[in-house]
Amino acid sequence: MEYCIETYNLTKSYGDIVVTDALSLCIEKGTFHGFLGPNGAGKSTTIKMLTGIVAPTSGSARILGCDIKHTNASTKKRIGVVPEELCLFENLTGPEYLTFIGRMYSLPRKLARDRAHELLYWMDIHDTNGTLILEYSHGMRKKLALCAAIIHDPELLFLDEPFEGIDAVASRTIREVLEKLLARGATIFLTSHILEVVERLCSHVSIIDKGKLLWQGGLTEFAGGKRLDEAFLQVVSKTNESPRRLSWLSSKGSDCNMEQN
């Protein structure tokens, strides 16, 4: 079996806080993998380690067969990333930015320009009349970041919450293009809190909570006939059993009568 991502006891700590705790993951080539977990579980940190943004504290990982400690430009050219915090060049227009990114990935100038225009049309952000990225809406920025992540036809795509803030039409367009990339043999590693999208797209899932891997395998086996959100809640609620109650919303008459005070 060929793996695109392998992690062995991958651990990241900030001081005494262990953010990812000895994660061992294997992601098969050509699969659409949903990396799921509650807020603060360690998903973005894992993606940051795999893409070279932060260094692990201990453990190791390989992407596309290359140790992340030695990832060089030629490996980086084979991956695409939509990070959690977008880092765009705000003083460029959309076409300028995408053409620049295409050139950074060594696409010939004309190809970079042509793909940039196609992508902007495809994502419906072409009609911006020279608007600089700093004036883009949140959703427009997210769409542009996705275009930048795929302009070079990557073999491995990391997507950290790509559907957050995206409208329904664009969401469908994105799903279609991701399915096309998958059909071409790409591997996609996605984090998303929108479990309906995960259910529709992913063949495999892994669940992480408080930095620990709770489950990894096929989505169908994980869900076991239930809806994905039900299966997910069942797994993560086992590790979050603190009482959840707001006293002032629990009883009909409020404990504190505001008019009397």
Q: Give the containing element (helix H, strand E) for 253.
A: none
As measured in angstroms, the least distance from the Cβ of 205 to ligand ATP is 14
| Tokens found for residue 72 | 């060089």
Any contact of residue 236 with ligand ATP (CB under 6 A)? no
Q: Which is nearer to ligand ATP, 177 or 233 (CB)?
A: 233
- Among 35-43, 120-128, 150-158, 170-178, the segment contacting ligand ATP (CB under 6 A): 35-43
Q: Which is nearer to Mg ion, 84 or 114 (CB)?
A: 84
Task: Assess contact for 151 and 79: CB atoms under 8 A.
Answer: no
Amino acid (1-letter code) at residue 64 = L
How big, in percent rounded to 5, are the helix, strand and coil portions of the chain? 40, 25, 35
Any contact of residue 206 with ligand ATP (CB under 6 A)? no
- Among 41-49, 56-64, 73-81, 236-244, the segment contacting ligand ATP (CB under 6 A): 41-49
Any contact of residue 14 with ligand ATP (CB under 6 A)? yes
How far is the C-alpha of 115 from the C-alpha of 146, rounded, in Å?
13
Any contact of residue 19 with ligand ATP (CB under 6 A)? yes
Backbone angles phi, psi at 20, to 5 degrees: -125, 135
Contact pick of 11, 31, 45, 216 for ligand ATP (by CB under 6 A):
45
Could you list the beta-strand ranges (E) of 49-183: 58-63, 66-67, 79-82, 156-160
Any contact of residue 37 with ligand ATP (CB under 6 A)? yes
- Among 11-19, 70-78, 103-111, 194-202, the segment contacting ligand ATP (CB under 6 A): 11-19
- Among 37-45, 138-146, 195-203, 234-242, the segment contacting ligand ATP (CB under 6 A): 37-45
Contact pick of 7, 11, 31, 44 for Mg ion (by CB under 5 A):
44
Cβ within 8 Å of residue 92, ≥6 positions away: 100, 132, 133
How far is the C-alpha of 197 from the C-alpha of 200, rounded, in Å?
5
CA torsion sign for 5, 101, 44, 69 is positive
Q: Which is nearer to ligand ATP, 84 or 118 (CB)?
A: 84
Count Cβ atoms within 10 A of the Cβ of residue 183 and give its class: 0-12 exposed, 13-18 middle, 19 or more buried: exposed
Any contact of residue 154 with ligand ATP (CB under 6 A)? no
As measured in angstroms, the least distance from the Cβ of 99 to ligand ATP is 30
- Among 42-50, 102-110, 220-228, 232-240, the segment contacting ligand ATP (CB under 6 A): 42-50
Cβ within 8 Å of residue 233, ≥6 positions away: none
* Binding interface with Mg ion (CB under 5 A): 44, 84
* Binding interface with ligand ATP (CB under 6 A): 14, 17, 19, 37, 39-45, 84
